[in-house]
Amino acid sequence: MEQHKRQPVTRRDVVKVTGAGAALAATLGTGVLMPGLTNAAAAKAIFFDVGGTILDWSTMPDKMTKYFSERGIKIDGKSFWIPWRTKLFFYMMYNTMIGSGFIPLEELATRSTMALAKSQKLDLDPSVAAGVLPLLGELDVYPDVMPGLQKMRELGYKLVPHTQLSLGVLKKSLLGRFKWDAYFTSETFGLYKPQRGIYLKAIEVMGLDRSEVIYVTSNQFDVFGAKGMGFRTAWIDRWNEPLEPYGYVPDWQVKDFLAFAKVLETAKP
C-alpha cells in the first residue's frame, strides 16, 4: 500500500463553527482534584479523546462476533476484541516511531486484523479484515456524555473531539450527535497519539495556548501524552483502574462527564 504524504492543514479545513445545542437536564456527580494542582478557571476549550471516552467500547465484542458469523467465520468477540485493539494500537505506535510517513488507520487496522487472525490460525480475506474497523462507527455514546457536554457548553467552553480514530469512523459515530466547535482525527495532521504534533498542531489551529486547554480522556496513555504537552487533564476513570506510574498524573480524576461538568461549574469564577 502506497503511503500517504502529509498535506498542509489550514484553519478552514478543520475548524467547524457551531451554535448552542438543545438544553438537557443533568444530574451532576462529583470529581476529585488531584493534590497541588490548579483549577480550571483559565481554560477556554476542552479536548476529548473519543474511543472509550465518548464511544462505549462495551458492545464491540458482540459486534465482532456477529460480523464474522455473518461471513461464516467463528470468532469469539470477547476473546478477539482486546487483542485486536492492543495490536492496532501497537501498529499505530510503530508507524509513529519509525517516522517514515503516515499510513491511514484503515490500512493499519486491516494489517493488524490479518496478523491477529493468522496468530489464531484463522484464514481471513483482506476484504473481511477491512470491515472490522468500521464497526467502531456503529458504537453508541456513554449515557453521561450528552448531558455532560451540554453542561460544558452552557459553561462557555469550546468543545473539540481529538482522536486518532479515522474521519470515517468519527463521522459515522459522533459528529452528527453534537455541534462541535472543531474536530481533529489522525488524518488531520497525519499523526497518531502520543506524537507531540497531534496535540500541538491542534491548539495552533484553534488559536489557543496550552494553558487554555483541558484534555479529557479515559485512556491513561492520553493522560501521559496530554500532560507531557503541558495541558491540564481530566481522567474519566470508567473502569475503576489503578493509576499507572507513567510519570504524569491527571489534574482531575472523575467517574464520568457529568462529574467533570460539576467540577467545571464550581471552578468558574
Query: How do the domains of the chain map onto residue ranges?
Result: 11-56+140-267, 58-138
Say whether pLDDT at 220 is over 80: yes
The mean pLDDT value of the chain amounts to: 86
| Mean pLDDT of all residues in 129-153 | 98
* pLDDT of 184: 98
Look at 26 and 145; give whichever has higher pLDDT.
Answer: 145
Instruction: Read off the pLDDT band of 203 (50, 70, 90).
Output: very high
Indicate the CATH number for domain 58-138: 1.10.150
C-alpha to C-alpha distance for 21 and 27, rounded to whole angstroms: 18
Count how many Cα atoms sit within 13 Å of the Cα of residue 101 in the half-sphere of its side chain: 7
Bigger pLDDT: 24 vs 203: 203
Angle (nearest 5°) at CA 266 between 174 and 249:
70
> Per the structure block, which three cell numbers stand in for 191?
499523526
Encode pLDDT of 244-267 as tens digits.
Answer: 898 899 999 999 999 999 999 987
Same CATH topology for 11-56+140-267 and 58-138: the answer is no
pLDDT digits (tens, 9 = 90+) for 7-16: 444 433 333 3
- Average pLDDT score over residue span 93-100: 82
108 band by pLDDT with thresholds 50, 70 and 90 = very high
At the fourth CATH level, the homologous superfamily of domain 11-56+140-267 is HAD superfamily/HAD-like (3.40.50.1000)
DSSP secondary structure letter of residue 256: S
- Average pLDDT over every residue of 114-134: 96
Rounded CA separation 55/17 (Å): 23
pLDDT tens, residue by residue, 24-61: 222 223 344 443 345 676 899 999 999 999 999 999 99
CA distance 194 to 258: 26
CA distance 262 to 78: 35
Contact between residue 55 and residue 141 where contact means Cβ atoms under 8 Å apart = yes
Check residues 195 and 4 and name the one with the higher pLDDT.
195
Residue 236: pLDDT above 70? yes
